[in-house]
Chain A
């Protein structure tokens, strides 16, 4: 039998003709890539260092497909298909090395165990995966998946390529009585069927040769279609992952207001290279759409549609303004909750694009939805977004033994109350509970009072970067004067600004959310809580969880307060927005409201109390839970203070 091998092009004497369609494929492919390249090339360059986190994410998200497999059935099917095609590609290269370059690489044990057995297993896995995809899309019919012609052609063509591959191999094994055929176990099984059917050898040869050309031309057509379809994600998804912001793009880019040709994005050239590559990396899997609170509540925004509309615009009308592609209503529907970005398997960054386009609409065109415009005007005129507030910055603290910081004083712990804590009657109670907890811990506590002003976060998310920057500069200046040892805040939006986004304005302060600070105090025994026993579910505020990565601390505080913590269907990084983000806290919302959708989940847990750690979530969840017939909604500080107060009293 000699060294195990097979003869390439065994039944295709005129195989040299294949270089003609191959040349056409190369030209078509190259043109397709160039078409897209010329769009990417117009994008703004962005910094790439440090590479370490980017490469780690590439390995995790592209190599191991860690986000894809969060949905196990289709996720592992996708991973299997991807691995199968990498193996089949290597197998094809090995064939080319032997056939075109005469290298003796396709023989011996390698031939038997890789080229035969492994590739058969890969082909079989690919067929199973594709069958799962087709059944899911066309039998289970999830709404997030499209069912246009290309959605069918892509998996179906791949399936035919794999099936014809097995047919070719089995016909060869049958006709040549291949002594090593059994290693190709799938094809070998098929060849046994031909024997059972008494397939004549001449007929087998004719079928083989015809099928060989069909398989080849179909495979070349498929490859040629890659740069013209969503298949391009094979190449662009890893690039999009590699270029994605290592910090998850939670920080918005600081806009150069003085020197920017345009404020915000309205032409493709206003986007970064990453933004433009994202458009071609989209696999249309629909996970962003499924996670989007705006889409779930019937607003005119689907993150997937947004990316696809931008992709179409980029390739069909690249020189036209983006106002022609994306409506204002779509942009202002976004709550900036980042659920889409967290769900995206290929790290497409939706929110920075949306805010970028909002910036143009707001700052260059003067467009802003009613309610939001008034809130932003409030920040401009009186330093807070709450219209008609009956309180001053210090009303909430009347009767409490704390005072405003005065120039010349040192400051150990600064409580950054936030506008909600100061002006919203419900959040004022949270500020009082938190203050009492901090005083019970013996903190040397001060507040800024009249010197505190809105961080500008609602303005920035709305697209009013100019006002935001003025607020940021003023606040950083104030905080540098105060120079607190640490800042504690009860507002995740303020936290995100003070801790992260203000760094672009020279801030470098120790800033903690009250949940983190209270948890640490409980661990070190600075405060003790009496036994509780209520069943509590915790709503993760987007700006605390997905933006700041704080998931455990609030839950630990609730447990320390004796709570029996139960989780909602969506929690942790997969949490569902309350509907307040992106300036929606100040707008009139249609029906169904996002907070009702979230409140339904909370009520379904059977919890007596819905806890949260954000004054805006508190407000939205209070309305939602009340409408859904649920129990109390409280901030973690209130829940803890209820359990700590008796201990403080007992100690005298």
Chain B
């Protein structure tokens, strides 16, 4: 099976509060760029499918050189090829992104399986995979947690309340992958990491697509903290806490 796995590196979601500031634009300071959390799940599933079908997969990212972190990780895990659509990193219009990815997918020769993480860990929209499937007129299965190669097709499992559902697909398909016990990204082997650092990353020219959405404003919430210790014996503490919570519910936390 030919597989394309789309990955994205994002500003460290574990950066301490205030480390990333966005007064009008994003200021990342010293915060590092890391592979997005769901892209790790996507890579793991891409790897499993490629292993089960004795094939390989291509990892694709979109953005500037900072995206190479994600692509190197993909190469270390076993991606046969890595390509980056060279655009400036910044606010992403999902439809524009899907069109550029569609163009890149065609340039790379297309695939049987297109795999996304459930959502990018920074903008958290979670729609690009669905839009991409629409542009290619392909079926889309979101939030996949397990995939098995079944003959020429795939058997895909999703969690539903109280159980799971499985769907079968023979032919090209688009998936988005979420976290689960079977999609926990494995640790790459160090020799592969060292080799990955020497492998080339293809740079693709972005397709010319019109802007559908532009960023009008970005602003940071003002966080204020009010805290005090509740002291006294257990009964007194419970009474004070109860009164405090009632007051909070009535006033919404204000004084």
B34 touches A381 (CB 8 A): yes
When each residue 360-377 of chain A gets 1 if its CB lies under 8 Å from chain B and 0 otherwise, what string results? 001111111000010000
- What is the distance, in angstroms, from B178's C-beta to the closest C-beta of chain A? 19
Determine the chain A residues whose CB is within 8 A of the CB of B190 once the complex forms: 257, 263, 362-364, 464-466
Determine the chain B residues whose CB is within 8 A of the CB of A378 once the complex forms: 14
Q: Does B228 lie at the interface of the complex (its beta carbon under 8 Å from any beta carbon of A)?
A: no
Stretch in A287-295, A389-397, A642-650 touching the partner:
A389-397
Q: CA–CA, A388 to B15, complex, Å? A: 8
B193 touches A390 (CB 8 A): no
- What is the distance, in angstroms, from A394's C-beta to the closest C-beta of chain B? 10
Q: CA–CA, A465 to B191, complex, Å? A: 12
Q: Does B30 lie at the interface of the complex (its beta carbon under 8 Å from any beta carbon of A)?
A: yes
Determine the chain B residues whose CB is within 8 A of the CB of A382 once the complex forms: 12, 14-15, 32, 34
Determine the chain B residues whose CB is within 8 A of the CB of A257 once the complex forms: 190, 194
Q: Does A499 lie at the interface of the complex (its beta carbon under 8 Å from any beta carbon of B)?
A: no
- What is the distance, in angstroms, from A369's C-beta to the closest C-beta of chain B? 11
- What is the distance, in angstroms, from A73's C-beta to the closest C-beta of chain B? 49
A373 touches B189 (CB 8 A): no
Determine the chain B residues whose CB is within 8 A of the CB of A366 once the complex forms: 186-189
Closest to A366 in B: B187
Q: CA–CA, A466 to B188, complex, Å? A: 12
Q: Does B19 lie at the interface of the complex (its beta carbon under 8 Å from any beta carbon of A)?
A: yes
A368 touches B34 (CB 8 A): no
Contact of B16 among A364, A368, A391 (CB under 8 A): A391
Determine the chain B residues whose CB is within 8 A of the CB of A464 once the complex forms: 190
Q: Does A387 lie at the interface of the complex (its beta carbon under 8 Å from any beta carbon of B)?
A: yes
Closest to B189 in A: A366
- What is the distance, in angstroms, from A462's C-beta to the closest C-beta of chain B? 11
Complex interface residues of chain B between 13 and 33 (CB less than 8 A to chain A): 14-17, 19, 30, 32
Contact of A365 among B15, B32, B189, B193 (CB under 8 A): B189
Determine the chain A residues whose CB is within 8 A of the CB of B187 once the complex forms: 362, 366-368, 373
B30 touches A364 (CB 8 A): no
Q: A366-B186, A450-B30 are in contact. Are A389 and B194 (CB under 8 A)?
A: no
Complex interface residues of chain B between 173 and 194 (CB less than 8 A to chain A): 186-191, 193-194
Contact of B14 among A364, A365, A389, A450 (CB under 8 A): A389
Q: CA–CA, A541 to B34, complex, Å? A: 34
Q: CA–CA, A395 to B17, complex, Å? A: 11
Q: B interface, how many residues as a size bin? A: 10 to 19
- What is the distance, in angstroms, from A608's C-beta to the closest C-beta of chain B? 23
Closest to B35 in A: A381
Determine the chain B residues whose CB is within 8 A of the CB of A388 once the complex forms: 14
Contact of A263 among B30, B32, B188, B191 (CB under 8 A): B191
A392 touches B19 (CB 8 A): yes
Q: CA–CA, A350 to B36, complex, Å? A: 39
A390 touches B188 (CB 8 A): no
- What is the distance, in angstroms, from A371's C-beta to the closest C-beta of chain B? 13
B16 touches A389 (CB 8 A): yes
Q: CA–CA, A373 to B30, complex, Å? A: 23
Q: CA–CA, A466 to B187, complex, Å? A: 13
Q: CA–CA, A614 to B241, complex, Å? A: 37
Q: CA–CA, A391 to B14, complex, Å? A: 10
B189 touches A392 (CB 8 A): no
- What is the distance, in angstroms, from A472's C-beta to the closest C-beta of chain B? 15
Q: CA–CA, A354 to B17, complex, Å? A: 39
- What is the distance, in angstroms, from B10's C-beta to the closest C-beta of chain A? 11
Q: CA–CA, A208 to B189, complex, Å? A: 70
A363 touches B12 (CB 8 A): no
Contact of B191 among A363, A387, A391, A395 (CB under 8 A): A363
Complex interface residues of chain A between 378 and 424 (CB less than 8 A to chain B): 378, 381-383, 387-392, 395
B191 touches A381 (CB 8 A): no
Contact of A390 among B17, B30, B189, B194 (CB under 8 A): B17
Contact of A363 among B17, B34, B189 (CB under 8 A): B189
Q: CA–CA, A387 to B16, complex, Å? A: 10
Determine the chain B residues whose CB is within 8 A of the CB of A389 once the complex forms: 14, 16
Q: CA–CA, A262 to B188, complex, Å? A: 15
Q: CA–CA, A609 to B191, complex, Å? A: 48
Closest to B12 in A: A382
Q: A382-B14, A395-B16 are in contact. Are A364 and B191 (CB under 8 A)?
A: yes
B32 touches A381 (CB 8 A): yes
Determine the chain A residues whose CB is within 8 A of the CB of B191 once the complex forms: 263, 363-364
- What is the distance, in angstroms, from B82's C-beta to the closest C-beta of chain A? 19
Determine the chain A residues whose CB is within 8 A of the CB of B194 once the complex forms: 257-258, 466
B32 touches A466 (CB 8 A): no
Q: A257-B194, A263-B191, A366-B189 are in contact. Are A381 and B12 (CB under 8 A)?
A: yes
Q: CA–CA, A383 to B188, complex, Å? A: 19
Contact of A466 among B16, B17, B30, B193 (CB under 8 A): B193
- What is the distance, in angstroms, from B141's C-beta to the closest C-beta of chain A? 28
- What is the distance, in angstroms, from B75's C-beta to the closest C-beta of chain A? 15
Q: CA–CA, A381 to B19, complex, Å? A: 15
Closest to B187 in A: A366
Give the residue among B16, B17, B32 with the most A Cβ atoms within 10 A. Answer: B16
Q: CA–CA, A395 to B187, complex, Å? A: 32
- What is the distance, in angstroms, from A355's C-beta to the closest C-beta of chain B? 15
Q: A387-B14, A389-B16, A466-B194 are in contact. Are A364 and B189 (CB under 8 A)?
A: yes
When each residue 270-296 of chain A gets 1 if its CB lies under 8 Å from chain B and 0 otherwise, what string results? 000000000000000000000000000
Q: CA–CA, A464 to B187, complex, Å? A: 11
B16 touches A390 (CB 8 A): yes
Q: CA–CA, A258 to B197, complex, Å? A: 13
Q: CA–CA, A387 to B12, complex, Å? A: 11
Closest to A465 in B: B190
Q: CA–CA, A325 to B15, complex, Å? A: 42
When each residue 131-173 of chain A gets 1 if its CB lies under 8 Å from chain B and 0 otherwise, what string results? 0000000000000000000000000000000000000000000
Determine the chain B residues whose CB is within 8 A of the CB of A381 once the complex forms: 12, 32, 34
Give the residue among A258, A367, A387, A392 with the most B Cβ atoms within 10 A. Answer: A392
Closest to A370 in B: B184
Give the residue among B15, B186, B188, B190 with the most A Cβ atoms within 10 A. Answer: B190
Complex interface residues of chain A between 329 and 355 (CB less than 8 A to chain B): none
- What is the distance, in angstroms, from A181's C-beta to the closest C-beta of chain B? 73
Determine the chain A residues whose CB is within 8 A of the CB of B34 once the complex forms: 381-382
Determine the chain A residues whose CB is within 8 A of the CB of B193 once the complex forms: 466
Determine the chain A residues whose CB is within 8 A of the CB of B15 once the complex forms: 382
Closest to A376 in B: B187
Determine the chain A residues whose CB is within 8 A of the CB of B189 once the complex forms: 363-366
- What is the distance, in angstroms, from A419's C-beta to the closest C-beta of chain B? 13
Q: CA–CA, A466 to B186, complex, Å? A: 17
When each residue 188-204 of chain B gets 1 if its CB lies under 8 Å from chain A and 0 otherwise, what string results? 11110110000000000
Complex interface residues of chain A between 560 and 601 (CB less than 8 A to chain B): none
Determine the chain B residues whose CB is within 8 A of the CB of A368 once the complex forms: 187
Determine the chain A residues whose CB is within 8 A of the CB of B32 once the complex forms: 381-383
Complex interface residues of chain B between 144 and 199 (CB less than 8 A to chain A): 186-191, 193-194
- What is the distance, in angstroms, from A251's C-beta to the closest C-beta of chain B? 21
10 nearest A-B residue pairs (beta carbon) = A363-B190, A366-B187, A466-B190, A381-B34, A390-B16, A366-B189, A450-B30, A382-B32, A392-B16, A366-B186
A to B CB contacts below 8 Å, 18 in the list: A257-B190, A257-B194, A258-B194, A366-B186, A366-B187, A367-B187, A373-B187, A381-B12, A381-B32, A382-B14, A389-B16, A390-B17, A392-B16, A395-B16, A464-B190, A465-B190, A466-B193, A466-B194
Q: A382-B15, A466-B193 are in contact. List 15 more A-B contacts (CB 8 A).
A: A258-B194, A362-B190, A363-B191, A366-B188, A382-B32, A382-B34, A383-B32, A387-B14, A388-B14, A389-B16, A392-B19, A395-B16, A450-B30, A464-B190, A466-B190
